[in-house]
Amino acid sequence: MRTISLLITLIILLNRPSVEGKWKMVRDESFENILTSPNFQMQDEQQQKALFETFNKILNGFYYDFRKDTVYFTDFKNHEIVELKGIYWIDADTLIIGQTNKIYLQKYIISKLDANELHLKLIHPKDGTVFNSRMMFKKE
């Protein structure tokens, strides 16, 4: 009986989709929430345009490229997209990324992973709260 249980577990793990490969952001629900918020609607046209352009720049340039235990990815710093490198691992449904140039871990709940889509929910680094908004990626 124990052998059958181990075999089933092994089959499930082998058939589980992998995050390996390049994933391009296609949608961020937090951006959508901000752009449809009353606060955003009260901003003048120039401020709205600037924020929309910032979100558009992020969407067009944001990706994760997972290779074995290394990840190449982008972030938005000082109004520019910057490329970074780190290590990653998955613990149950949690993706953990550590940047190689600083002592910092970022955690995400994997809310969806299949051959074509990856959805992540950010875990707040200070209190462990899981954000409701998803970042959605398509495999390239």
CATH of the domain at 35: 2.40.128
Q: According to the model, what pLDDT value does residue 15 have? A: 52
How far apart CA 11 and CA 67 sit, in angstroms, is: 22
Mean pLDDT of 74-82: 91
Percent of all residues in the chain with a pLDDT value above 70, rounded to a whole number:
89
What is the chain's mean pLDDT, rounded? 89
Question: What domain range is 89 assigned to?
Answer: 21-139
In whole angstroms, what is the distance from residue 98 CA to residue 90 CA?
12
The proportion of the chain whose per-residue pLDDT surpasses 90, expressed as a percent, equals 78
**Residue 67: what pLDDT?**
96
- Please indicate, yes or no, if residue 85 is contained in any of the structural domains: yes
Q: Is residue 115 part of a domain?
A: yes
Q: Can you tell me the distance from the alpha carbon of 135 to that of 46, in angstroms, rounded to the nearest whole number?
A: 26
User: Would you say residue 10 has pLDDT above 60?
Assistant: no
Residue 1 placed within a domain? no
The answer to whether position 35 is within a domain reads: yes
Q: Let me know if residue 2 belongs to a domain.
A: no
- Residue 44 burial (C-beta neighbours within 10 Å; 0-12, 13-18, 19+): exposed
91 in a structural domain:
yes
pLDDT of residue 79: 87
Alpha-carbon 92 to chain mean position = 16
Q: What is the mean pLDDT of residues 16-41?
A: 93
Rounded Cα gap, residues 125 and 74, in angstroms = 19
CA of 132: how far to CAs of 51, 63, 82, 118, in Å? 21, 20, 25, 15
Note the pLDDT of residue 13: 44
Quote the pLDDT of residue 2: 63
Number of domains composing the chain: 1
Please indicate, yes or no, if residue 4 is contained in any of the structural domains: no
Return the pLDDT at 5. Answer: 52
Dump pLDDT digits (tens) for 29-46.
999 999 999 999 999 999
Confidence band of 120 (pLDDT split at 50, 70, 90): very high
Tell me which amino acid residue 88 is: Y
Mean per-residue pLDDT for 108-115? 96
Flag whether 7 is in a domain: no
